[in-house]
Amino acid sequence: MIRYILWRIMVMIPTLVLISMLIFTIIELPPGDYFESYVEQLKAIGEKADLQEIEDLRARYGFDQPEPIRYLNWVGGMLHGDFGYSFEYRMPVTDVVGDRVWLTILVSTVTIIVTWLLAFPIGVYSATHQYSWGDYGLTLLGLIGLAVPNFIFALILMYFANIWFGTSIGHLMDQQYLSEPMSHAKFISILEHIWIPVLIIGTAGTAGMVRRLRANLLDELNKQYVMTARAKGLHPFRVLVKYPLRMALNFFISDIGSILPAVISGAEITAVVLSLETTGPMLIRALQSQDMYLAGSFLMFLSFLTVVGVLISDIALALFDPRIRLRGGRTR
């Protein structure tokens, strides 16, 4: 196990290097850079840009240097904790994403917890009551949840909230707290608003998890060892929990690789529709404006979380499921 973990950590280094090269290349593919986009935006609204200031900023942040040199400067800065400067927000990247990261983690974590709390009992019930009216009803709701995109669901809720209650359900807090530092009143306002994005974002995730848990559990319940346990007279609940349910939970563990980056990135399109103060809209805006340091550093952070999440899920699968081995070979 120790050798495997060390080997995987060593593999992570070239993997992240290749990912950083790919991210830098993709961000550099569009013609021009942030400064050219900024000048064009000013011209579009009839304002004149200070070209000398633009050239000074180009030279200060190395945009007048060849791309390989800029890439090395960017990666070297991240290794020392310097994620660069956001030209659009006119502040360091760490200051830009600070508050938004914590709000994104809060929304995503609550969504994951609610999704699991709902998916477990529903999936187990559907599997143990196959082809019952309850199974058919829950299956129908699950298919609707999978078919309707989250942002469409958000638009529907926003429309009916405005028609029925005359209120807007956008943002994660009341308007007066948007630019204020964290306080007790602001935190209470966040708790009052958070259930709306959690309900919207968690719908598709809950539906998909229920379908996977039901399918995996049905496959385990039809295996010979379950029939043998039933024939020996074991209590049905004990038969369910001791082996089939445990074996059916492998996909929950394997999902760690995608859960970690999802906790930080959030549901981007839904966040844009609801005007949430999370990192999703910020990342989309950074990519559109070619704010290189903000977009690139954020994507690298998501890539790092993905690689670490996959490692954690592989180790956890080997620990929780004795049928899984880290290396091939015969078992005793």
| DSSP assigned state of 85 | E
Residue 16 lies in a domain: no
Burial class (CB in 10 A: 0-12, 13-18, 19+), 212: middle
**Cα–Cα dist 131/112, whole Å:** 28
Residue 171 lies in a domain: yes
pLDDT tens, N- to C-terminus, the chain (332 residues): 778 788 888 888 899 999 999 998 888 887 777 777 777 777 777 777 677 777 777 777 777 788 888 888 888 888 888 888 887 787 888 888 877 888 888 888 888 888 888 888 998 899 888 889 988 998 898 888 888 888 888 888 888 887 887 767 778 888 787 777 778 888 888 888 888 888 888 887 888 888 888 888 888 888 888 888 888 888 888 888 877 887 777 777 777 777 777 766 657 788 888 888 888 888 888 888 778 888 888 888 888 888 888 888 888 887 777 666 655 445 44
What is the CA angle 151-157-161, rounded to 5? 145
What domain range is 171 assigned to? 99-289
Residue 241 lies in a domain: yes
Q: DSSP string spanning 113-168?
A: HHHHHHHHHHHHHHHHTTTSHHHHHHHHHHHHHHHS-HHHHHHHHHHHIIIII---
pLDDT value at residue 87: 79
Residue 272 lies in a domain: yes
Q: Structural domain tally of the chain?
A: 1
Q: Is the separation of the CB atoms in 238 and 276 below 8 Å?
A: no
**Cα–Cα dist 221/241, whole Å:** 11
* CATH code, domain with 180: 1.10.3720.10
| DSSP assigned state of 326 | S
Residue 302 lies in a domain: no
